[in-house]
Amino acid sequence: MRFTDFLCQKFGGKTVKIAVDAGLSCPNRAAGRGCAWCDNDAFSAAVSPRQSIREQVLAGVARVQRRQPAARNFLVYFQPGSNTFAPVEKLRALYEEALTVDGVVGVAIGTRPDCVDAEKIALLAALARRTFVQIEYGLQSVNDATLAALGRGHTVGDFSAAMRLTRARGIYIVAHLIVGLPGDTLADSVRAAAFLAAEKIDGIKIHNLHLVKNTALAERFLRDPFPLPTLDEYAATVARMLAALPDTVTEQRLCAAPRRRDQLLAPDWCWRGEEVLRRINQFRVQS
């Protein structure tokens, strides 16, 4: 199911996501490390943590309404960094501030599975009793060896532990996977989707690995190139992943590219998002 359709049904009209930057770090960066592929500047948020959350949301609403004057419902997306990586009182203030803007129907919170605990989930569960709350856990790979080799700093077991805390609390749970990481096969990605189905996720974001210049993984690729999926290999794999998930799971993203083209090292095809989605749909029809 497309997430846009889900939101439309739930809120009775078109609902637009507005990305904000709360200026939060993540356990990796706080420890002076980082996932090998990560460059927060390449995320798509056209926002700045120098503005308050309310200012960012208001600016986002104005931006959206210039293009889509009929847009009335907004979901505030805490995107860069790990947006549960702060004391509970600070998190509460950030989320509540987002909800003060007229038309905001909920929050989506991007984070890592090792960055929640019972207290933070209790905060989200309380919020979820009066608004829509989505948490997005970056799992990325179903192989601990791949996660370790790329400096992710959490395990698949951490994800399962986060799911145990979060399930059945009224919180909508989304998982992120990256297809094409060195160390993973395409069959591993299909296995990851089956694993997420068993974990009973509500939504999914699938990203093709895209190498952002000056990241550790891009530097490694330049020194010692590793295979990246072709567009068709990627599209066929995503089609198989989606087939492994129940129809009720919302598809929230099926391809990705950095914010600016000059940030991209490879693969070039990820820049052609519409073509990628078309190929995925063609493979879905065939399967």
Which residues bind to ligand SF4, rule: CB under 6 A? 26, 28-29, 34-35, 38, 40, 81-82, 112
DSSP characters over 115-138: G--HHHHHHHHHHHTTSEEEEEEE
Cβ 147 to ligand SF4 shortest distance, Å: 11
Residue 10 or 29 with smaller CB distance to ligand SF4: 29
- We find the least distance from the C-beta atom of residue 26 to ligand SF4, in angstroms, to be 3
Q: Which of 159, 228, 235 is nearest to 196 (CA)?
A: 159
Closest CB to ligand SF4 among 150 and 228?
A: 150
* CA gap 262, 167 in Å, rounded: 40
The CA distance from 192 to 183, in Å, is 14
Full DSSP string of 79-111: -SS-TT-S-HHHHHHHHHHHTTSTTEEEEEEEE
Q: Is 147 helix (H, G, I), strand (E, B) or coil?
A: helix
Shorter beta-carbon distance to ligand SF4: residue 41 or 96: 41
Minimum separation from the CB atom of position 33 to ligand SF4 (A):
7
DSSP class of residue 180?
S
Query: Smallest distance from the beta carbon of 43 to ligand SF4, in angstroms?
Result: 9
Nearer to ligand SF4, 16 or 150 (CB): 150
Alpha carbon distance 124, 147 (integer Å)? 27
Q: 3-state SS of the chain: helix, strand, coil percent to 5?
A: 45, 20, 35
Q: How far is the CB of 11 from ligand SF4 (least distance, A)?
A: 28
Judged by beta carbon, residue 81 or residue 231, the one nearer ligand SF4 is: 81
Helix (H) or strand (E) holding 139: strand 132-140
Q: How far is the CB of 85 from ligand SF4 (least distance, A)?
A: 9
Which among 180, 178, 156, 154 is positioned nearest to 233, based on CA atoms?
Answer: 180
Nearer to ligand SF4, 60 or 81 (CB): 81
In the bound state with ligand SF4, the residue whose beta carbon lies nearer, of 28 and 141, is 28
Measured CA to CA, the distance from residue 269 to residue 257 in angstroms comes to 9
Smallest gap from residue 58 Cβ to ligand SF4 (A): 25
What's the rounded Cα separation, in Å, for the pair 212 and 194?
A: 28
